[in-house]
Amino acid sequence: MKLAFISDIHGNAHALEAVLEDIEQKRADKIFVLGDLCFRGPEPQRAYEMVMALNTEVIKGNADEWVYRGVGMNEVPEKAYEMMNRERDWTVSRMEQNAVESLHQLPEEVKYEYGGIKIHGFHATPYSLFENVPPDSENSKLKEKLMQEDADIYLYAHIHLPFIRTFDGKTFVNLGSVGLPFDGIAKASYAMVEIGDHDYQVSNVRVSYDVQKTIGLFEASDYPNKDKLIDILTRAKND
């Protein structure tokens, strides 16, 4: 059984196309989407429609909630608050209202079991869409923040920094980001879980796509803060 986990598409439909093509080539049996579909990208509605066309399990990320109700004052740095709400308003103006509302209605976790292997997936932590659990967290913090359910593999998104760690018989995976990576590699990222009769394998997959095509869409648009987003896409860093 091959399970693909994708997240943090952020309205980058070109990156999503490349990832879905790669997943198809690898003959994955099922795809799970762990949130952040539309916000901060040039094609929010197209990215949304591509995800929904998968007819699979999709959960909510913090950016999906922001699209629905706006960015909260204490949810981002004060200096970014006004601009991020302008970005949110731009995103909503390019989406259909039923799509915006459906983002709010998405569930916040996914559970799956195959061959005796239990999987728990969520966007940031099982109880928060917003909390950051970075790759260099101590083992005790990973257990405290991510192990709210009994599982063998825990998968999450949000931080845009892919990693895999295994300890105490548990595997912790961050998917990275399809549309807006922060690790310095300007390629889309997702995770693949392969479960056999008696074992399993987890991998982070990097996929090349035409980054300049996405940048060109930003350049041709009136997206607020587009210079910042173009810089992130170019360097694959948010600093």
Residue 175: per-residue pLDDT: 98
* Beta carbons of 121 and 5 less than 8 angstroms apart: yes
Both tokens of residue 19? Answer: 């990832």
Q: Which residues pair with 190 in a beta bridge?
A: 205
pLDDT at 36: 98
Residue 228 to residue 218: CA distance in whole angstroms: 10
pLDDT < 70: residue spans in the chain? none
SS3 15: helix
Residue 227, φ and ψ in degrees, nearest 5:
-60, -40
- Give residue-wise pLDDT tens across range 102-137: 999 999 999 999 999 999 999 999 999 999 999 999
Q: How far apart are CA 79 and CA 66, in angstroms?
A: 17
Give the H or E element holding residue 170.
strand 170-174
The dotted CATH code for 1-233 is 3.60.21.10
Q: What is the pLDDT of residue 197?
A: 84
pTM score: 0.98
Residue 198 pLDDT? 78
